[in-house]
Amino acid sequence: MTIAHGWDPDRYLTYADERGRPFVELVARVGATAPTRVVDLGCGPGNLTALLAERWPDAQVTGVDSSPEMIERATADHPGVGFAVEDLREWLERTEPVDVLVSNATLQWVPGHRELLPALVRAVRPGGWLAFQVPGNFDEPSHTIRRELAADPRFASHTHGVAVPSAHDAATYLHDLAALGCEVDAWETTYLHVLTGEDPVFTWVSGTGARPTLQALPGGVRDEFEAEFRSRLRAAYPPIEYAGQQAVVLPFRRVFVVARSVTR
């Protein structure tokens, strides 16, 4: 059983530019010229969905996310775009095919998401486009430290069953989608994010990958976990001098896939 958790749009948007760049580079490879219906699965606070509406102003653009907090923020900030609270799997079961289906940094939260690839392809019209991006940095200290601490006897009884992200490499997705009759463009990029502020790596991960773990811990236990997590992250990501200030460098590998549905 997976422990339920919620999302904080403000914390997630702390590094909006860094989180948004992969989305922009992903969508740049989508060759659709005049789509009628565009959907962003796992749209979060909607700031990136709005870019889809700007690129294809004549399309019906919809953002879908399972988080009511994210959809509330998206609806308030981007009134010209449609948004809906819905689970990704449920949406796939009922949707009519769309012209462009985008999913940015979402599938890693769906257990067994490779099994959903056929449904994702079916959700796209023949000749349409499926584009998704997932993190590929799960062997980095930002994740390994969280896993080690979560397994510690002090915390394990609270973190057992907590949602954790996972994904595959670009070659795996390419072979899967090619077998489904798609033309596939798949690649990987490692970004070097230069972050400033107090414990910036903790700020980053507490808005995404580590958030479910932190939410699963009761108050005092969470404080103990967070203090040790911050300390270990500071050691793993030492500060550097950068443009006259202290900063840390967070390497972040991401996996990109753009597939065009050409057969059924």
What digits encode the pLDDT tens for the residues 110-135? Answer: 999 999 999 999 999 999 999 999 99
Phi and psi for 179 in degrees, rounded to 5?
-65, -20
Do the bridges between strand 124-135 and strand 245-261 make them parallel or antiparallel, or are there none, so unpaired?
antiparallel
Residue 16 pLDDT class (50, 70, 90 cuts): low
Percent of the chain at pLDDT > 70 equals 93
- The alpha carbon torsion through 170, 262, 95, 211 (nearest 10 deg) reads 10
Residue 261 pLDDT class (50, 70, 90 cuts): confident
Phi and psi for 90 in degrees, rounded to 5?
-65, -40
Model pLDDT, residue 17? 78
Tell me the β-bridge partners of 96.
none
For residues 103 and 212, give the distance between their C-alpha atoms in angstroms, rounded to a whole number. 20
> How many CB atoms lie under 10 A from the CB of residue 123?
21
Model pLDDT, residue 2? 40
pLDDT tops 70 at residue 7: no
For residues 256 and 250, give the distance between their C-alpha atoms in angstroms, rounded to a whole number. 19
Percent of the chain at pLDDT > 90 equals 86
pLDDT tops 80 at residue 10: no
Say whether 37 sits in a helix, a strand or coil. Answer: strand
For residues 102 and 4, give the distance between their C-alpha atoms in angstroms, rounded to a whole number. 24
For residues 127 and 260, give the distance between their C-alpha atoms in angstroms, rounded to a whole number. 6
pLDDT tops 70 at residue 6: no
Model pLDDT, residue 264? 56
Model pLDDT, residue 1? 37
Integer angstrom CA distances of residue 142 from 18, 48, 123, 162: 16, 24, 34, 17
Is residue 13 a contact partner of residue 47, using CB atoms and an 8 Å limit? Answer: yes
Model pLDDT, residue 92? 96
Residue-range domains of the chain with CATH: 9-261 (3.40.50.150)
What digits encode the pLDDT tens for the residues 209-235? Answer: 888 999 999 989 999 999 999 999 999
For residues 225 and 222, give the distance between their C-alpha atoms in angstroms, rounded to a whole number. 5
Phi and psi for 167 in degrees, rounded to 5?
-155, 180
For residues 245 and 228, give the distance between their C-alpha atoms in angstroms, rounded to a whole number. 25
Residue 193 pLDDT class (50, 70, 90 cuts): very high
What digits encode the pLDDT tens for the residues 134-191? Answer: 999 999 999 999 999 999 999 999 999 998 999 999 999 999 999 999 999 999 999 9
Model pLDDT, residue 14? 52
Full-model pTM: 0.92
pLDDT tops 90 at residue 71: yes
Cβ neighbours for 141, distance < 8 A, ≥ 6 positions apart = 232, 233, 236, 237
